[in-house]
Amino acid sequence: MVTAKISCKKLNAWFGKVHSVRSLDLDIRPHEIFGIIGPANSGKTTFLRTLNRMNDLDLHFRMDGEVLLDGQNIYADMTAEALRSKVGMVFAMPMPLPMSVFDNVAYGPRMHGMRDRKKLAEIVERSLQEAFLWEEVKDRLGMSGMKLSGGQQQRLCIARTLALSPDVILFDEPCSGLDPISTAKVEEAMLILKKEYTIILVTNNIKQAARVSGRTAFFLMGELIELDATEKIFTAPKDKRTEDYILGRFG
Amino acid sequence: MDRTLRRTKEFIVEGLIFLSGITSILFVVLIFVFLLKEGLSLFKEYPAGQFLFGTGWYPISEPPRFGIVPLVCGSLIVTVGAIMIAVPVSVAAALYISELAPVKIKDFLKAGIEMLAAIPSVVLGFIGMVTLVPFVRSFFHIPTGLTALSGSIMLAFMAMPTIITIAEDAINAVPKPYKEGALALGATRWQMMYKIVLVAASPGIIAAIMLGIGRVIGETMAVMMITGNSAVIPHSFLQPVRTMTATIASEMGETVYGSEHYFALFALGIVLFIITFIINFIADLFLHRKKI
Look at residue B170 in the predicted model and tell me its pLDDT: 92
Check B181 against A93: CB less than 8 A apart.
Answer: no
To which H or E segment does residue B150 belong?
helix B148-172
- The total number of structural domains in chain A stands at 1
pLDDT digits (tens, 9 = 90+) for A149-196: 888 999 999 999 999 999 999 999 988 888 888 899 889 989 999 999
Q: In this complex, do A146 and B292 lie within 8 Å of one another by their Cβ atoms?
A: yes
Nearest to A98 among B186, B187, B292 (CB): B292
Q: Which residues of A12-43 are buried (b: 16+ CB within 10 A; e: fewer)?
A: bbbeeeebbbbebebbbbeebbbbbbbeeebb
Q: What is the mean pLDDT of chain B?
A: 90
A1 in a structural domain: no
Q: Residue A24: which H helix or E strand, with range?
A: strand A18-28
Cβ atoms A36, A44 nearer than 8 A: yes
Asked whether residue A236 is assigned to any structural domain, the reply reads yes
Provide the CATH number for the domain formed by B53-287 in this structure: 1.10.3720.10
Q: Which residues of B touch A98 (CB under 8 A)?
A: 178, 196, 199-200, 292
CATH number at residue A102: 3.40.50.300
List residues bridging with A33 in a β-sheet: A199
Domain interval for residue A225: 6-246
Residue B168: half-sphere exposure toward Cβ, Cα within 13 Å? 21
For B194, nearest residue in chain A (alpha carbons) = A111
Q: Does residue A221 fall inside a structural domain?
A: yes
- Which of B185, B193, B198, B199 best probes binding to A when mutated, by most A CB atoms within 10 angstroms? B185
Helices and strands: H and E segment counts in chain B: 15, 2
Q: What is the pLDDT along chain B (292 residues), one digit of tens a residue?
A: 678 888 999 999 999 999 999 998 999 899 999 999 999 988 888 888 888 998 889 888 888 889 999 999 999 999 999 999 999 999 999 999 998 888 899 999 999 999 998 999 899 999 999 999 999 999 998 888 899 999 999 999 999 999 999 999 999 999 888 998 899 998 888 888 988 899 899 999 999 999 999 999 988 888 888 988 888 888 888 889 999 999 999 888 888 888 889 999 999 999 999 999 999 898 888 877 754 4
What mean pLDDT do residues A41-51 have? 91
> Is A27 inside a domain boundary?
yes
Q: Is residue A239 part of a domain?
A: yes
**Interface contact flag, B184 A57, Cβ < 8 Å:** no
Please tell me the predicted confidence (pLDDT) of residue A250. 66
Interval B278-290: pLDDT, tens: 998 988 888 777 5
Does residue A129 sit within a domain? yes
Kindly report the number of other CB atoms within 10 A of residue A173's CB atom: 19
Q: Do B185 and A54 touch (CB under 8 A)?
A: no
Residue A251 lies in a domain: no
How far, in Å, CA of B35 to CA of B271, rounded?
10
CA–CA separation, A164 vs A84, rounded Å? Answer: 10
What ipTM goes with this model?
0.83
DSSP B195: I
Report pLDDT digits (tens) over B104-146: 999 999 999 999 989 998 999 999 999 999 999 999 988 888 9
The model's pTM is 0.80
